[in-house]
Amino acid sequence: MNKAFVLGLCLSFCSTSFAATTMSQKEDSLEQMRSELKKQQITLSTLRSQLSKFEMNLGENNKKIIEILGQRKQLEITIFETGQRLEKSKTDLEENLDKTKSSLRALVLGSLDDVETSTDLLSKKILTNILQKKIEVIKSELKLNNQLSLDLAELKKDYENHIRTENDLRVVLDDLEQKKKDIASKYIEEEKAKDATQIKYDQLRTTVYLSKQKKQHTKEEAAPVLDSDNEKMEFAGPVEGHSGVEHNKKGITFKFKGQLPVKSAGKGKVAYTGSLSNYGNVVIVDHGNQTRTIYLGQFLPKVKAESLVEKGQVLGYTQAGYSTGSRGSVYFEVRKRNIAQNTVLLMDQDFLAKNSLAKN
């Protein structure tokens, strides 16, 4: 047997075996990443639930503090008004009591010095009774005033208790705010980690997919898109700075956060701009030779129909934002004679390199 043939056969076998091993390792890595993404998603859900509970507790404590502040303000007013009334009333009553006692003493002393008729005696007796009753009434009012003083003391205690309760609630509120900040920081870090894992997963998934597609070469695979010079057309990625890509045998979905430009994948003319219910806005670019690219999703178009566009020219801007933590997506698809093509196989080398992908 020819040694060169045997050597070639061995090399071919080794190469095939190595490729199979590499593919198996990549698929194992994909499975591990899928598992990691699930764990990260569970962690994010748990953190969201914790944040929601902290928000609820913060809301309840804020409501309690507002109620305590309202009650404390009312107590301040009541204490002030009661104190003013009590001070004036006590002073007036004590002055009135002194005057009445003085009048009674003068009346009694006067009756001892003068010789009076029976009529005078009767008048003084009646006047004495009136003054004595008045003294009793004043003493009774002073007693009520003393009770009012005790009530005022209780009001002041209640006011101090409100201040202590308010301070305690503020301590709890500060603690809740700090815990909420800690959980929010963990959430942001976990979200960043999940985004990084998602990007790696999408890149590896695309690499595995492209490798399998190259090996299949079945008749069902879409024919390559050709331009007018019969050269294969390659398209640029419409969204840069995305947080991940997903694809199937038709189009590519670009996931993103924040405002990013959506660019034309190739030179052409804008055939249509509009919106699709529940799907977002859409832009269709005609590249000639019955080839069109479709851009659909959460973005705001900035071009009009019939406009000429160059490859890489901005068609619009994404709308989801970091400020609300919202995410968005833009779907991209190449169509030939109105038939969806296997878009990921038609992307240019720059897109593949930036996303760590390869067609071989």
Fold topology of 1-217: Helix Hairpins (1.10.287)
What is the pLDDT at residue 309?
Answer: 95
Question: Which amino acid is it at 120?
Answer: D
pTM, 2 dp: 0.48
Provide CATH 2.70.70.10 ranges for the chain: 225-360
CATH of domain 225-360: 2.70.70.10
What is the pLDDT at residue 6?
Answer: 38
Strand, helix or coil for residue 147: helix
What is the pLDDT at residue 299?
Answer: 93
pLDDT tens profile 91-121: 676 777 677 677 767 766 765 555 555 666 6
What is the pLDDT at residue 169?
Answer: 85
Provide CATH 1.10.287 ranges for the chain: 1-217
> Hey, what are 87's tokens?
């001070």
Q: What residue ranges of the chain have pLDDT lower than 50?
A: 1-20, 217-223, 226, 228-230, 321-324, 360
What is the pLDDT at residue 34?
Answer: 86
What is the pLDDT at residue 76?
Answer: 85
What is the pLDDT at residue 302?
Answer: 93
- Rounded to a whole number, what is the largest CA-CA distance in the chain? 169
Other residues' Cβ atoms within 10 Å of the Cβ of residue 342: 20
The CA distances from residue 182 to 28, 42, 50, 188, 339, in Å, are 35, 18, 11, 10, 51
What is the pLDDT at residue 241?
Answer: 81
Q: Which residues contact 44 (CB under 8 A, 6 or more apart)?
A: 187, 190, 191, 194
